[in-house]
Structure 1
């Protein structure tokens, strides 16, 4: 029995050693998933910058944040620069920190009052009162569209839903950024790896010649 366990452990260790060269794929997948999200968010803020500033500063229908122009500029630049650096895999751990801060601010100031769900689904777990109330509204909307519109054409690209705008997506992106702080840019798949490889090799050559 001990021999079987020892043999299994040896084979398992060999497999782990072999697949470690592919561990950069996970980091690459996370980075490529996040790039379009932050790029679209940043470009949208930039293209409508004055509206973004107004939304950041207005306490009646916006976030009511202090220094709205500065806050809007920081959020916009963080998302745009973050998208570029994540795409390149450059300074991955460093840029993940301000992106995490951006996500935390978005969660607390925008999404948290709406609960968990991004899309209202009364049958899903964590459905709050707002989500439960959406069922009747959605049914009324379906009735109107069926009676006065081409319902089959309107739903040919997908079913109608009610946006709940909860924390679900923002928390997902936050968790992915936390993973990137641990994983870094990824072995072989990021500039972080190759810069580190070059510097380590150069430092080793300097020590060798000394």
Structure 2
């Protein structure tokens, strides 16, 4: 029976949808945060300084840790609505200070070498995809397979 909800053998699987969005979005943020941390925030600080971001040293650490721990919170589904706010702000700042100047597309092939394609700087497309995913999770919630759902279930059993 298929109607407005996805069901198999009478079971509704709609609440599983946020799981996939959470896993990809959370992992993506953690991967970006880890890349900044493993290369050393000083390099990212230099980029922030060149783009005129105030307090680049503090902001480099703040955005790195926001991506790491906010991404982990999204991944696990813990306090998703709260964790989404600083992540959305991070994406908006990145979009309007860096990516907006390079247009929409996040993948721009600008050349081809014997080693493979050469890509130009990314546009703001990926920022919008992350923002859309986070807004979707705020609206739908973290789903049944999340720490948030476990908290709710535990609270209602008392």
The answer as to 2:82 corresponding to 1:94 is: yes
Output the TM-score relative to the length of structure 1.
0.66
- Aligned length, in residue pairs: 154
Within the candidate set 144, 149, 152, 1:193 is matched to: 149
Within the candidate set 20, 23, 42, 1:32 is matched to: 23
Say if 1:161 and 1:90 are closer, same or farther in 2 by CA, change over 3 A.
same
Distance in 1, matches of 2:147 and 2:123, equals 35
Q: CA deviation digits over 1:83-132, x for unaligned, max 9?
A: 211121111111011100001001101100111011226xxxxxxxxxxx
Q: Indicate conservation of the 8 Å contact 2:42/2:60, yes or no.
A: no
Distance in 2, matches of 1:55 and 1:196, equals 42
Say if 1:193 and 1:109 are closer, same or farther in 2 by CA, change over 3 A.
same
Instruction: Return 5+ residue gaps in structure 2 as ranges.
Output: none
Residue in 1 aligned with 2:48? 56
Q: Indicate conservation of the 8 Å contact 1:27/1:180, yes or no.
A: yes
Q: Which 4+ stretches in 1 moved above 4 angstroms? A: 11-16
Distance in 2, matches of 1:112 and 1:165, equals 9
Between Structure 1 and Structure 2, which shows a larger proportion of helix residues?
1
Output the TM-score relative to the length of structure 2.
0.86
The answer as to 2:146 corresponding to 1:183 is: no
Distance in 1, matches of 2:6 and 2:51, equals 51
